[in-house]
Amino acid sequence: MDDYALVLNAGSSSLKFCVFQRPRGEGWRLAARGQIEGIGSSPQLSVKDPDGQCLTKQKLDATVRNGRDALDALAAWLRFKYGGSRVVGVGHRVVHGGSRFKGPTVITPQVLAELYELVPLAPLHQPYNLAAIEAASERLPGVPQVACFDTSFHRGQSAVAELIPLPRELRELGLQRYGFHGLSYEYIASVLPEVAPSIANERVIVAHLGSGASLCALKDRKSVDSTLGFTALDGLCMGTRPGALDPGVVLHLFQGLKFSAKEVETLLYKKSGLIGISGISNDMRDLLGRREPEARLAVDYFVYCAAKEIGALAAVLGGVDGIVFTAGIGENSPEIRERICEACAWLGVEIDDAANDSGGPKISTEGSKISVWVVPTNEELMIARHTGALLGLAKAAQERT
């Protein structure tokens, strides 16, 4: 009977997963990765082997309405594929670890209770992350689980980088800049010596551009600063979130326009950003294909914000040696990469059009003062590494991406 470990990355409408398997007498190896998407609307399961070959792609019953249903569907596929095997650990992505959880943590009832207290700080993600933990606990009683936090990689930043300029008594309640997308940035930092050794330990700005978007300044492959702060609302314009916003706007929503707290939360997390500007879509792919001026304005603002924040992080680093694009938009949109790089020409960025169109990995010219790269991220592998190390499954950390 083989052992296997699971990695789960649960969202509101999708469940990403990886399966690591340990045949008798052998080390851990990646066996499969996949996702269930369209949860609550048109659910579909797709799974690939380590070489990217399709293992299965199937529509699921419309009764898959939430994360628990999705986990049941995954469990059914696992029984079919790995019947007789034993699950020995489960690793989870958890967006917010607050001020207490500075690294991966074995989940206990007390840990779970404390993580639920952070739900108001990450309402788009935390409830689904924690629901997956509870569902896995019900279906796999006694199997250890590990929470891996998107905030952990940013711990260790300077006091000024973490500071929110409010009275001390409020800061002592946990009001600080946390930063997010840490599992993605940690993965990029881990592979830079192999992919881009010339800049690996230099001043690097990583652009994690997707429906959620942020930038992170790295020096010696450690986080120096990032554009996301206390919550995942700060910094760049995102699919449905506004990014940096004058606090007076929020005051006006409450005081002048008489919004309720729930209405403000819904506006900021679900109705702003690209969808708010365009009124058309929160998906960059859709907006790039539209001619309406509102769609063009949304794209222009996204590029404008990214370029502006790159300039700010360049100042924090005292210069910049490399820029790395990653995540859905960063990895797959040559147009957005090109436009951001053109806006950064003043830094000495010069893009190679052919390399950019083909996806890199290096997309800058030889004469560019700053090298520019496209590096696919792999948050699930980082979760596997942490889970393996914490549960004594260390060989899982060495598996291929």
| Residue 401: CB atoms within 10 Å | 12
In this prediction, residue 183 carries a pLDDT of 96
Question: Which amino acid belongs to residue 69?
Answer: D
Of the candidates 183, 25, 4, the one whose C-alpha atom is nearest the C-alpha of residue 92 is 183
In this prediction, residue 353 carries a pLDDT of 97
Of the candidates 386, 394, 381, 379, the one whose C-alpha atom is nearest the C-alpha of residue 104 is 386
**d(C-alpha 162, C-alpha 177), whole Å:** 5
Taking the model in full, what pTM does it have? 0.91
pLDDT digits over 164-195, tens only?
999 999 999 999 999 999 999 999 999 999 99
Tokens of 225: 């600063």
**d(C-alpha 299, C-alpha 401), whole Å:** 31
In this prediction, residue 20 carries a pLDDT of 86
In this prediction, residue 317 carries a pLDDT of 98
Chain mean position to CA 4 = 25
**d(C-alpha 203, C-alpha 321), whole Å:** 5
In this prediction, residue 165 carries a pLDDT of 97
In this prediction, residue 400 carries a pLDDT of 38
Residue among 2, 61, 72, 150 flagged as catalytic: 150
* Residue 363 DSSP label: -
CB 7 within 8 A of CB 89: no
Give kind and range of the element (H or E) at residue 4. strand 3-10
In this prediction, residue 14 carries a pLDDT of 85
In this prediction, residue 237 carries a pLDDT of 97
Tell me whether residue 3 is one of the annotated catalytic residues. Answer: no
| Domains within the chain, CATH numbers bracketed | 3-155+382-398 (3.30.420.40), 197-374 (3.30.420.40)
In this prediction, residue 27 carries a pLDDT of 63
Tokens of 356: 């950019």
Residues of the chain with confidence (pLDDT) below 50: 394-401
In this prediction, residue 65 carries a pLDDT of 85
